[in-house]
Structure 1
Amino acid sequence: MALDKALSDIFDRNIERRFDSAEAEREAIAAAKAGDSEATVALLYAYAHTLNKTVGRFRNAGGANATVDQKEELRSLAVTGLYEAIHAFDPEAHDRLAAIVSQHLWHAVSQLNGTIAFTVPQRTLTRFYSILRKANDNVYEAAALAPKYEMSRETFFSVLSAVRDVDSYDGLTGADDEHGSATKGGQSAEGSRDIDARPIWDNSAAEEDALLVAAAFDAVDDTEERVCRLAYGFETYGDPVADAEIGHKLGMTRPTVQRRRSSALGKMRQALAVA
């Protein structure tokens, strides 16, 4: 299938086609790495939701809609990020591409500057600065330390890039500027200007939660996703459904529902690096 048609399906028609199993996805990843274009297209379809979500977040950054050229470039960068994720995938470390795809998409799309830039959820930004403090403001030591605190090196450097886009890193961390005036408490010692340590636009914790939930569900198969959505109230306005009732709805025994839910939670924890 032509790549152009696949991209049109994904970005213009929001068509998504997931793999039936993690094993089928892993086989497609291996084939894509070997140069199989059909396998690559299949992976694009499988992660259509993630691609669209990433592009959408950047396209409307700061309330400014992207131009046609920027929109096309965003899509191109997102696809490049997915390609990078495919080639970085380690079958010994992860079950599905969902475990690493978001960080690669963010890193790729954040290369587009101007009104479109990298959005950093507030809690991610807080964790970024916490890790930086633990490394005594040494960027490279902090990047090495980041995985111990459930943040990949790629995500750490992407956040660093976004922060530097707002103000100089030295200014944000309180180092002396070229005129010798140090910053204290978010303001220069001379009191001449405030330094905002946040991105250009703020982002709610709810958006980060939504991203994490999407990544978690991307890591499981359709049956496991349905079990979890029922068990944790996603389809019942927050009211959890008992395992026995889930089994009745889905035609499973109660022990099978419990095994499915346990398996799904394990995959989700691994995908979100909280295992």
Structure 2
Amino acid sequence: MRYGQLVMGPAGSGKSTYCSTLVKHAADEKKVINVVNLDPAAEFFDYDPVVDIRQLIHVDDAMEDEELKFGPNGGLVFCMEYLVENIDWLEEQLGEDEDDYTLFDCPGQIELYTHMTVMRQLVEHLQRQDFRLCAVFLIDSQFMVDPAKFLSGTMAALSVMTNLELPHINVLSKMDLLSKTARSRLDSYLEPDPHALLGEMETTSKWNQKYNKLTEAIGRLIEDYSLVRFYPFDVRDEENIADIMLTIDNMIQFGEDSDVKTRDFEYEDAEDDDD
């Protein structure tokens, strides 16, 4: 069995930072986590990927092709579809080692996860390669500071859940960038009460009055499914990082039937007590 996290989220939500943070955290514990870059438009990330989609296709290839002439969004979709069509390349790059733990750093185009089928097809291919996966959906915590934005982020998370059909965790990234006031306010969103949050929304505007019933229906949907919960992620807090890892490892049952890979390191020579 092999294990992995499908790291998703809107552009700028901190996916690559999340991956590099987990790699460093694992290295400190003498463990190995691999990262696969699946973003064909990536320019910089603070980790060394074991597989890089840009070796197969780059978004510029789709945008500069005289026949295709895609824009940035169309180019990203084309690249992901091209990857699925050439999935043998990815399988060869990943190898067949058991007990691997891999982070798949995905593109920041939200429609890839919410309603298109290409990521679902990729998931099915990985599962056939004995990967047990967890979907990690990142949302910038600075975005989730008022009820309207919370509802928007929550509906996006629900769409990803239903589209991919994987064990799922929602992560509020960039917690270290929040002010004390914003962080205190955000606590009410970690285990949200939809009715309380909806009560905070302005009802004086004509738009909110007109669509008030729709907003209430969305709130009931969130509450009835009881699927949405957000976990804070602070790159400065080692205990917080360990808690996130433990939660995800439990979801994919990592370690229950496998040995943890470790890096080789030197032991200090024991002092000879015998004279």
Q: Which is richer in helix?
A: 1
Q: Which has the higher contact order (CA 8 A, sep 6+)?
A: 2
- Length-normalised TM-score, structure 1: 0.28
- Length-normalised TM-score, structure 2: 0.28
Q: Which is richer in strand?
A: 2
